[in-house]
């Protein structure tokens, strides 16, 4: 397994809330929040291209690296029936998304300090509902399929975003280890700083590491506002395993966001200041982007504050 560029330090950016940005700010329909479906139409492909071009230019302007997410968060078997596709078509969709990401990397690799092609996977089911999560053995079996597709491609790492349970994370990490591909685990938390299953963040990270011999490259937190978890970042050894954040722009809970028919974009300047506080607590953290409600404006403010 090769070493990831971001593990050697440096400043790395990611994108933001792809789905919420394109749905609420640009009027695109995304069935089941499955962004890969946009690649099936010229307008959708163009929207994805415009979206990522902005972030890549931002990384270039700050001489930052970029973790380039393949839009495959829901390109997995669980959503096949909802999307009306076969597993074979899902495999083709993953391949098409990887090719799309590779073309973006090829365009910018000479001007951005380091671009890491990142295969994104999500939980099997609702990303806000920890009661639906798989146990470790079932998760390893289930996620092995999509991880295997990534392992046979140009993808350099995978990130499991918006995970709600330690058990599913264990299964994902074990599947990644079997495929010899670097993996990052990104948990989401509720307003009390705990996973949707109720498990404290520190226990979740320690459980995954103990069950997988510390195979995960690092951990992240996404799909939560900094106010929701800052108090859980105690000065203990497990904290060293967190290297990145992709926070929500909104302070609303998952339940409130799920029920909302409008987008809460929060305040980009305030969010950037919250990131500055996170960086002060975790000075080794070096991967930063956004999640629900955020867009290029938010990540630009974050980059401006952290790069200075």
pLDDT digits (tens, 9 = 90+) for 69-121: 999 999 999 999 999 999 999 999 999 999 999 999 999 999 999 999 999 99
Q: In sequence order, which residues have a C-beta less than 8 Å from that of residue 20 and are 6 or more positions away?
A: 263, 292, 293, 294
Picking from 227, 295, 296, 289, the residue whose alpha carbon sits closest to that of residue 263 is 295
Look-up of token digits 């671009």 = 115
- String of DSSP letters for 141-159: HHHHHHHHHHHTSS--EEE
Residue 254: which pLDDT band, with cuts at 50, 70 and 90? confident
pLDDT, mean over the chain: 95
Count CB neighbours of 91 within 10 A.
17
Residues in the chain: 308
pLDDT number for residue 308: 78
| Tens digit of each residue's pLDDT (9 = 90 or more) over 161-179 | 999 999 999 999 999 999 9
What lies within 8 Å, CB to CB, of 134 at 6+ separation is 124, 142, 165, 167, 168, 171
pLDDT attached to residue 99: 98
Q: Tell me what pLDDT residue 234 has.
A: 86
Average pLDDT over residues 283-288: 98
pLDDT for position 275: 98
- Top-level class of domain 7-307: alpha beta
Measured distance CA(16)–CA(27) in Å, rounded: 17
pLDDT (average), residues 171-190: 98
pLDDT band at 125 (very low <50, low <70, confident <90, very high): confident
Structure-block tokens of residue 280: 């002060």
Tokens representing 286?
């070096």
Of all residues in the chain, what percent are helix, strand and coil, respectively (each to 5)?
Answer: 50, 15, 35
Q: Spell out the domain ranges in the chain.
A: 7-307
For residues 31-52, average pLDDT: 97
Secondary structure of residue 286 in the 3-state scheme: coil
With a pLDDT cut of 70, the percent of the chain lying above it is 97
The pTM for the full model equals: 0.96
Q: What is the structure's pLDDT at 257?
A: 87
Q: Is residue 260 over pLDDT 70?
A: yes
Residue 266, pLDDT above cutoff 90:
yes
How sure is the predictor about 130, in pLDDT bands with cuts at 50, 70 and 90? low
- Please give the distance of CA 26 from its chain centroid, rounded to a whole number: 21
Mean pLDDT, range 224-251, rounded to an integer: 95
Q: Which two tokens stand for residue 282?
A: 């975790």
In angstroms, rounded to a whole number, what is the distance separating the alpha carbons of residues 278 and 306?
Answer: 10
Interval 279-306 mean pLDDT = 97
């Amino acid at each position: 397994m090769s070493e990831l560029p971001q593990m050697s330090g440096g400043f790395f950016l990611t994108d933001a809330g792809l789905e919420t940005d394109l749905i609420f700010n640009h009027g695109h329909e995304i069935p089941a929040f499955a962004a890969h479906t946009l690649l099936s139409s010229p307008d959708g492909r163009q929207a994805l291209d415009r979206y990522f071009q902005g972030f890549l230019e931002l990384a270039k302007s700050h001489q930052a690296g970029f973790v380039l997410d393949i839009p495959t968060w829901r390109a997995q078997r669980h959503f096949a029936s909802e999307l009306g596709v076969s597993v074979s078509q899902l495999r083709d969709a993953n391949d098409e998304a990887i090719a799309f990401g590779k073309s973006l990397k090829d365009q910018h690799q000479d001007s951005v300090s380091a671009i890491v092609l990142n295969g994104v996977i999500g939980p099997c089911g609702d990303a806000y509902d920890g009661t639906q999560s798989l146990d470790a053995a079932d998760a390893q079996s289930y996620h092995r399929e999509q991880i295997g597709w990534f392992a046979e491609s140009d993808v350099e790492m995978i990130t499991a975003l918006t995970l709600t349970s330690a058990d599913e994370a264990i299964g994902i990490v074990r599947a990644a280890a079997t495929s010899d591909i670097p993996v990052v685990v990104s948990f989401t938390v509720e307003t009390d700083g705990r996973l949707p299953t109720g498990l404290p963040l520190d226990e979740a990270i320690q459980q995954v590491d103990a069950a997988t011999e510390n195979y995960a490259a690092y951990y992240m937190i996404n799909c939560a506002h900094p106010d929701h978890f800052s108090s859980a970042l105690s000065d203990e050894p497990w904290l060293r395993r967190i290297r990145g954040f992709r926070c929500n722009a909104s302070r609303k809970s998952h339940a409130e966001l799920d029920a909302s028919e409008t987008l809460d974009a929060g305040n980009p300047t305030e969010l950037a200041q919250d990131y500055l506080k996170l960086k002060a607590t975790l000075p080794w953290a070096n991967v930063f982007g956004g999640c629900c409600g955020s867009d290029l404006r938010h990540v630009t403010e974050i980059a401006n504050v952290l790069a200075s």
